[in-house]
Structure 1
């Protein structure tokens, strides 16, 4: 695993996919927040919980640029951290070694996208 990518993915999961980010004001999406408030961006209502730009970049990379297998492993690993590892492997349809190889491949791909070296 790449430690920097691991840290970014943990932050992404916390900001975009945890219980703290759900509910009210469109989950922190600025455009959706403005739509909910009739075109007014009222920062005081959710500014402290709005996602960081890096989390938005990670969301885009995970949802649009990773293969289905890699996306599933990333979501299982970072969004379902309270579930037993054997259940995670089963949900991804692979064994332990394949799971961690896919996670590593996802880290490499994300790192490459963030650094501008991946296509």
Structure 2
């Protein structure tokens, strides 16, 4: 795994996909609902996040639209599913433990490449 991308994905999941106070009025962590609530103004995360909402939005777009489906599933299970044990996540992804971590690393590389391409 790429440590920097791992941290960004943890913060992305916390910003956009974790239950927290104020979820009801923010549409359950949905980025569109959050933008509507803030009248389209991107502001820092409400819980002291180190990832700006626009960067979280970039990661959300990459995970939803650009990652191959098997990588997207692994990323969502690993970072957003806090209710399951690792073995349950691996079974859900339909692969072995080794393949799970290989896909997670491949997703990290893909996301890093996409973010670098955006910055270039």
Which of the five TM-score ranges fits, normalised by the shorter chain? 0.7 to 0.9
The alpha carbon displacement at 1:31 in A equals 4.3
Aligned length: 109
1:32 to 2:36 alignment: yes
Question: In 1, are the aligned partners of 2:44 and 2:53 still within 8 Å (CA)?
Answer: no
Partner residue in 1 for 2:111:
110
List, as ranges, runs of 4+ consecutive aligned residues in structure 1 with deviation greater than 4 Å.
none
Partner residue in 1 for 2:7:
7
Which structure features the higher share of helix residues? 1
Structure 1's unaligned 5+ residue stretches are 35-40
- TM superposition score normalised by structure 1: 0.79
- Bigger CA drift: 51-60 or 96-105? 51-60
The alpha carbon displacement at 1:82 in A equals 4.3
Rounded Cα–Cα distance in structure 2 between residues aligned with 1:32 and 1:111: 28
Question: In 1, are the aligned partners of 2:12 and 2:56 still within 8 Å (CA)?
Answer: yes
Cα RMSD of the aligned pairs, angstroms, is: 2.7
Q: Assess, with a 3 A threshold, how the Cα gap between structure 1 residues 52 and 100 changes in structure 2: closer, same or farther.
A: same
Structure 2's unaligned 5+ residue stretches are none
- Please state whether the residue corresponding to 2:24 is helix, strand or coil: coil
1:49 corresponds, among 41, 46, 51, to: 46
